[in-house]
Structure 1
């Protein structure tokens, strides 16, 4: 009965169990049906890690399941509800807990991340404008940000959540500005300091709430997803305090179509602990009486291509990475990259570049695009 119910739902979404299409799911263990019905997204991801099913095009399967409404159609068991409780009741991204994400994800291994990223080590959405090349697309993204910020030679830029230092290095070298960057990942900071040696870039191992100083421009790329809804206002107040009255702030973040207090349970457990995708409403409320929102640019479809490029690079690097990681890790990582690609393709999640200026300062409207 369980198998029939799930199979019927999948077929309505265009995915057939043991079917001939590349997006059809090939089930190897009959326990898969009850596991997915009980644990929904968590069970789907974990059962793939355990080898209970395969699919030639996980990205396309996930896209079809989301477009077919399967996420809402399957109720799930009490274990799923239990995963949602902490995010509702607690501040999972408090200052005391802020380093959990660094320890469990970003400090995994520089070799792992740099094996599939571009030459500028951008772990965020690229901008595939007039190119299919990942390196060029990431340069396009950096150039787009520089133009929106109107970066100039004498500017002092604050980079909140600087990753492996690629953005700071690129802007210091091409725009000839000074950069102060903060991060809480020791592995990332170690690499960032190395590649920025000799450039006017200073790195601090520091939570965003501890930032001091006043800056001409502020940028944050791919970090706001770790701030959490209870801290969105604090983040915006911090940026407001650090930005000059005539300055420009650019926020680049993944976002959700609806306001939520939790993240996908599989992503939360295995990839980004305590992650949370903001909605436009949540961002807007956090900026009230602080910022003028000058421009909102959705580049979400470009993340589909970015993730697919990352997966190709990851697969090519696997013979070397397999000396450190086992087959279950490989299945986890490819499921992460491909399922996220499918979610962006289905327009289930977005990427926003939001340009802001300080409210009440009469700052001239920046030429964003």
Structure 2
């Protein structure tokens, strides 16, 4: 069985010496072998040394191996991330990661399709049980919503209203996923839609399900785009662009926007400009990903596009991730034989650690509305 509840949560009874992590975790109100839902239950003592030495990567990999458990991982990460332990654990590795991000373009055209192959192409059947009915793999908008379905529909409609979509317009969705936005916009706002994705599974899904709508999809890197559109949206894709390519992305958007066009950029963001990608997330979940800072997005748009509106609803991603985790647990037995226990622990760690990170305001969710600044350009913000 996959559920962590089926694993022993009892703390070891053998006494052990105090470890550096006991002191560090105490600052976050976390106890090793404590009895609260967010306390760590240690199964292999040497895992503590590995966590200190390898930090995020060690923490994630020891969890994937079953060296420790936490009944409520989201609460564990919320407490860990709201307490700034960086001064205690900063090492030369962090500096090397930041330096590498400035020297190497990890989001080059040659690597553009890697995240599609390794993450988004896991299987449409898998994602159909995790997500809402439209397979919307980005933050929902929970302002007036009680369910994941309602939150995702509200998010799609919010985007369409911010863009001021009207019948006869052409909408480009850069990183269109399984087509949730293009299908919704075509159905409810009467616009012609073009989507681009680096996932073969997503492309096939859109072609199979939305042939009755004015929707076209291309398996293509965004840098190849050269058509003109009234509106552009990019929802949950900018995290894969990388700071070395932020300016290029904005130039592509500028090139493809008509003079009175609008771009809505929906992206996860980080609080600090000079920080590195979490190495565990990079290795196991989103290869070559990099969260942008608000300053980096502003720099990329400078002298190209004008920011008309900036909306932060990062706390809604906590709710979205917890809803995805609930679906994941509910349907896991269907996929246990195909993916195995290591995958189960990896995805549980991914979903709940990210929920804790948003809850702690360690990362954000922004919607930027940008307009074309050429003479004649008119901002139409709804």
TM-score grouping bracket, smaller chain normalisation: over 0.9
Other-structure match for 1:196:
210
- The structure 2 residue matched to 1:19, chosen from 34, 37, 42, is 34
Alignment of 1:202-221 (within 5 A): 202-221=216-235
- The structure 2 residue matched to 1:281, chosen from 271, 295, 301, is 295
CA distance in 1, matches of 2:146, 2:182: 24
- The structure 1 residue matched to 2:106, chosen from 92, 95, 98, is 92
Other-structure match for 1:299:
313
Other-structure match for 1:68:
83
CA distance in 2, matches of 1:72, 1:359: 43
CA distance in 2, matches of 1:7, 1:366: 54
Do the aligned residues in 2 keep the contact of 1:216 with 1:244 (CA within 8 Å)?
yes
**1:187 matched to 2:201:** yes
Other-structure match for 1:102:
116
CA distance in 1, matches of 2:98, 2:338: 33
- Residues 175 and 283 (structure 1), Cα distance of their counterparts in 2 relative to 1, 3 Å cut: same
Do the aligned residues in 2 keep the contact of 1:37 with 1:76 (CA within 8 Å)?
no
Other-structure match for 2:55:
40
Alignment size in residue pairs: 367
More deviation, 260-269/307-316: 260-269
Describe the superposition over 1:178-204 as per-residue Cα deviations: whole angstroms up to 9, x where unpaired.
Answer: 001111110110111112111000111
Describe the superposition over 1:74-130 as per-residue Cα deviations: whole angstroms up to 9, x where unpaired.
Answer: 23575x666555423200101111111111111122222221100111100000122
CA distance in 2, matches of 1:367, 1:81: 41
- Residues 273 and 2 (structure 1), Cα distance of their counterparts in 2 relative to 1, 3 Å cut: farther
- The structure 2 residue matched to 1:120, chosen from 122, 134, 154, is 134
Other-structure match for 2:369:
355
Other-structure match for 1:53:
68
- Report the TM-score when normalising by structure 2: 0.93
Give the superposed CA RMSD. 1.6
Q: Shift of the alpha carbon at 1:73?
A: 2.4
Do the aligned residues in 2 keep the contact of 1:252 with 1:353 (CA within 8 Å)?
yes
Other-structure match for 1:271:
285
Runs of 4+ aligned residues of structure 1 deviating over 2 Å after TM superposition are 1-4, 70-73, 75-78, 80-88, 360-368
Q: Which consecutive residues of structure 1, in runs of 5 or more, have no partner in the other structure? A: none
Q: Shift of the alpha carbon at 1:132?
A: 2.1
- Report the TM-score when normalising by structure 1: 0.96
- Residues 3 and 269 (structure 1), Cα distance of their counterparts in 2 relative to 1, 3 Å cut: farther
Other-structure match for 1:253:
267
CA distance in 2, matches of 1:315, 1:275: 26
Q: Which consecutive residues of structure 2, in runs of 5 or more, have no partner in the other structure? A: 1-15
